[in-house]
Amino acid sequence: MPSVLSSDVDKALIHIEAFRGGYSPDLFLAYQAPITIPTTTLRNLISHTPSLLPLGYLTEAKQVELQALMARLSSYEGRRMYLLLGARPLLDCTFCKTASDYFWYAVPFLFGTYAWRILACDACSKLKWTCTRI
């Protein structure tokens, strides 16, 4: 397993988002960093190897969003919420104070993410059942 501070990280040919099947990208996975990494070290990794950032994060507006996310990731609770729910609730929810607030804010988005997958699996199983009857 390569080191977190490896110089080969910048030479990645394929972006990490391509391997994740459309799931939202994870900074800790992209940089192969433990969740206990100090925030300053994570900021340094991001500034030295921006090619591993999720697609679209190299724009100026997304850089501001990334800085806001990094501020939220400075606490353990923020990192836990990031790993469980993703970046959107941390960035979008202005009234959230506790973990349960973030959870209830993210429920509709999580449901929407998995609803189409459940429907697709159902459709595929019905198609298979129909094809075997013919």
pTM for this model (two decimals): 0.64
Spell out the SS3 assignment of the chain. CCCCCCHHHHHCCCCHHHHHCCCCCCHHHHCCCCCCCCHHHHHHHHHHCHHHCCCCCCCHHHHHHHHHHHHHCCCHHHHHHHHHHCHHHHHHCCCCCCHHHHHHHHHHHHHHHHHHHHHHHHHHHHHHHHHHHC
C-alpha 85 chain-centroid distance? 8
Q: How confident is the model at residue 18 (pLDDT cuts 50, 70, 90)?
A: very low
Report residue 58 as tokens: 């190299």
In the predicted model, is pLDDT for residue 39 greater than 70? yes
The tens digit of pLDDT for each residue in 83-119 reads 888 888 888 888 988 888 988 998 888 787 778 788 8
The tens digit of pLDDT for each residue in 52-95 reads 776 666 777 788 888 888 999 999 888 988 888 888 888 888 89
Contact 111, 103 (CB under 8 A): no
Q: Check residue 56 and give its pLDDT.
A: 63
Q: How confident is the model at residue 10 (pLDDT cuts 50, 70, 90)?
A: very low
